[in-house]
Amino acid sequence: MKLRSLARRILLAGILLCLTAFLIEVTYRFYLFGFAALSYDKVDSVVGIGRAGVLRSSTYPASFTS
């Protein structure tokens, strides 16, 4: 009986942890994007690395060659 009770407590703690993480995620999205967080088109940020705008040419390209 004690093992079953322990398993239930661990399962409940895991479910509550996942639910808390989900609520934090949703709350933070609303903080960042407002009601646009509900629109997939507005928060879809998956783009190719070459088109993301995070890559740029080095100022000193010769210093990184081997």
Domain membership flag for residue 4: yes
Domain membership flag for residue 37: yes
Domain boundaries, position 20: 1-43
Domain membership flag for residue 8: yes
Distances (CA, A) of 17 to 5, 13, 20, 23: 18, 6, 5, 10
Task: Please tell me the predicted confidence (pLDDT) of residue 24.
Answer: 96
Q: How many domains does the chain have?
A: 1
CA 26/CA 51 separation, integer angstroms? 27
Domain membership flag for residue 62: no
- Give the residue, 47 or 38, on which the prediction is more confident: 38
Task: Please tell me the predicted confidence (pLDDT) of residue 47.
Answer: 65
* Averaged pLDDT for residues 4-24: 95
Stated pTM of the model:
0.55
